[in-house]
A and B are shown apart, each in its own frame.
Chain A
Amino acid sequence: GDKVKQSPSALSLQEGTNSALRCNFSIAATTVQWFLQNPRGSLINLFYLVPGTKENGRLKSAFDSKESYSTLHIRDAQLEDSGTYFCAAETEGADRLTFGKGTQLIIQP
C-alpha cells in the first residue's frame, strides 16, 4: 500500500472558505514537508515540520509523529491557492522524501 496517503484526492472550494488536507503515514516519519505544485509545475515549499505545528499567514500545518499523520489547513481560500498539494515524509537515517499522490485543490470565485 501507499506509504504516504493523502486525502482527499481532489477538492473544490468557494473563495473565502476553509479547508483541511491530511496525510497518513505507514512509515516512521521523522519530518514532513508540504508543497504546492502550481499550474506551471513548480513545487513551492510551504512547510518543513518536525513534530509540532507551524503557521504562515492563512496556512497552518501540524505533524504528529506518534499518530503518524500531518494536516494542512487553509483559511479564507483565495484563487491563487489553486493547485496540487503534496506532503512528503522523511524517515530516520534516510535523507530522502517519500511523496503522497497529492490533493488537487480548485478554488472557485
Chain B
Amino acid sequence: EAGVTQSPRYAVLQEGQAVSFWCDPISGHDTLYWYQQPRDQGPQLLVYFRDEAVIDNSQLPSDRFSAVRPKGTNSTLKIQSAKQGDTATYLCASSPLGGSYEQYFGPGTRLTVL
C-alpha cells in the first residue's frame, strides 16, 4: 500500500510570492489533514477535510492561505503572498473513516521564505 505522497519536497520563496503544495492521501482514506510544523515545534493543524468538505479551517490564515480537495482525493494547499513567518514544514496526513482514526503522514514540504 502506497503511503501519503507530497510535492514538492522543498520550496524557497521571496516574501510576497505564491506557492502551492500538493498531497495524495492513502487510497480509501476519506479524511485529509494539513499541518504546519515550525522548526523545533510539533505539528499544528491548519485544516482538514472529510471527502471534499472542509470540516475545520479555523486555524487557517484565511487572508493568505487556501486549501481545496475538489474530488475528495488529492488536495492542494496554497499560500497567496508568503511571509517569512510562514517558514515551516507543511505536512499532509490521512486517516480512514470508521474503526481507528490513526493518522498517517506524508514526508512534508519544507518551505523557506526569504
Interfacial residues, chain A to chain B (CB-CB below 8 A): 4, 31, 33, 35, 40-43, 45, 48, 86, 88, 90, 95-102
Contact = CB atoms under 8 A, between A and B. Distances in A.
A96 B44 contact: no
Given A31-B101, A42-B105, A99 B42 contact: yes
Interface of B: 31, 33, 40-45, 48, 56, 89, 91, 95, 100-105, 107-108, 110
Nearest to B9: A41
Contact of A86 (B33, B42, B100): B42
Nearest to B59: A96
Given A43-B91, A86-B42, A102-B42, A97 B103 contact: yes
**Chain A interface, >50% SS class:** strand
Contacts of B91: 43
Contacts of A42: 105, 107-108
A45 B48 contact: no
Contacts of B107: 40-42
Given A31-B101, A41-B110, A42-B108, A99 B44 contact: yes
Given A31-B101, A90-B101, A95 B42 contact: no
Contact of A100 (B42, B45, B89, B102): B42
20 contacts: A4-B42, A33-B103, A40-B107, A41-B89, A41-B107, A41-B110, A42-B108, A43-B43, A43-B91, A45-B102, A95-B31, A96-B33, A96-B48, A96-B56, A97-B45, A97-B103, A98-B45, A101-B41, A102-B40, A102-B42
Contact of A35 (B40, B48, B105): B105
Contacts of A90: 101
Contacts of A100: 42
A45 B26 CA distance: 14
B4 to A, nearest CB: 10
